Amino acid sequence: MSALAHASSLLRSGDVVAFPTETVYGLGANALDEASVAKIFAAKGRPAHNPLIIHVSDIEEARGLTSDWTPEAEALALAFWPGPLSLVLKKNSKIPGIVTAGGETVAIRCPDHPVALALLRACKFPLAAPSANRSNYISPSTAAHVIASLDGRIPLVLDGGPCKAGIESTVLSLVTSPAQILRPGPIPAAILERCGIQVALTNPAVDHLGKNIPQSPGQMPVHYAPTTLLLLRHKNEAAETVSSLLLQGKKVGYMRVSAETTFGFDCTEAIMKVENPENNSSPAVVDMPEEPTAYAKQLYAALHLLDSYNLEVIVCEQPPSSPIWAGITDRLNRAATTTN
């Protein structure tokens, strides 16, 4: 049996499967079946109040899951699907409450990855899929990251190579006016606005539709975090922070932005170069690309890699503040937030 046939047969029998998308790997289950979706929450250790994104194979399938497919949704889906844009719309009764954390809205996207699309077509049902990592840990941009986080808890990972975008989809709510970015991602606001819609970047104070569910729990400050303490420092201060931590006898990782990093190569850990990983008198250095799409593609691999060395602290240079970096800055800010 082919891997794809194996995956779709597991999904049809109510199990979960990890699969590649263009953003990060997802942990999928039949979105229309409550018991299947419950297995996602169990495998990830995800709290029930955090709703899931539903993945569809085309616009038609998305329309059939909502009660109010708006002209804005149509325009955005035509422009950006398949692609890294999740649209939050009013759900219809086909979607069990477990997917939406009891809320009346649902996030839907069509992933731009041949394996994800082939899997969706083979299953003939939509797949609810959060990122395929243990809750609160770094998202996976390779199959190896999925295995490192969920081995023994899921039956199968489809390996489609490193994800090309590298950070999770932009989440845009269309149930508010103007539309709101709930999570910045690969598609920035200015590009969305080219579809003729107005986009706000901040959260409204009240939940949409007046429901008492978290607006977008992915926006909770602690998320996507490595186990190692991560410090974000301005470009001018990062090297100094690294030196002073080394003087204190700490084992230090250093995510540095470098103009010399080659663009466009895969974000596999085998290719990513780390200087001095086991040498305590100098930092373990990862050079990150200067260009934001290349940086995003390598972000989680760099965090996974540095987190795998027994370091005490990772110092990361803050990326530029321009809007094109918003998704990356958002993930780094969360990774740098600790509860203690």
Residues near Mg ion (CB under 5 A): 131
Stretch of 23-31, 152-160, 296-304, 326-334 contacting ligand TXA, by CB under 6 A: 23-31
Select from 16, 52, 181, 288 the one that contacts ligand TXA (CB under 6 A).
Answer: 52
Residue 180 touches ligand TXA, criterion: CB under 6 A: no
Residue 283 touches ligand TXA, criterion: CB under 6 A: no
Minimum Å gap between C-beta 71 and ligand TXA is: 20
Q: Which one, 8 or 169, has the nearer CB to ligand TXA? A: 169
Minimum Å gap between C-beta 72 and ligand TXA is: 16
Stretch of 9-17, 124-132, 239-247, 277-285 contacting ligand TXA, by CB under 6 A: 124-132
Q: Which one, 4 or 231, has the nearer CB to ligand TXA? A: 4
Q: Which one, 222 or 258, has the nearer CB to ligand TXA? A: 222
Residue 171 touches ligand TXA, criterion: CB under 6 A: yes
Residue 21 touches ligand TXA, criterion: CB under 6 A: yes
Stretch of 22-30, 230-238, 250-258, 295-303 contacting ligand TXA, by CB under 6 A: 22-30
Residue partners of 230: CB distance under 8 A and separation at least 6:
303, 313, 314, 316, 332, 335, 336
Q: Is 185 within 8 Å of 218 (Cβ atoms)?
A: no
Q: Is 230 within 8 Å of 335 (Cβ atoms)?
A: yes
Residue 149 touches ligand TXA, criterion: CB under 6 A: no
Residue 57 touches ligand TXA, criterion: CB under 6 A: no
Minimum Å gap between C-beta 281 and ligand TXA is: 38
Stretch of 83-91, 142-150, 238-246, 300-308 contacting ligand TXA, by CB under 6 A: 83-91
Residue 141 touches ligand TXA, criterion: CB under 6 A: no
| Residues making contact with ligand TXA (CB under 6 A) | 21, 23-24, 26, 50-53, 84, 86, 88, 100, 103, 105-107, 111, 129-131, 168-169, 171, 182-183, 216-218
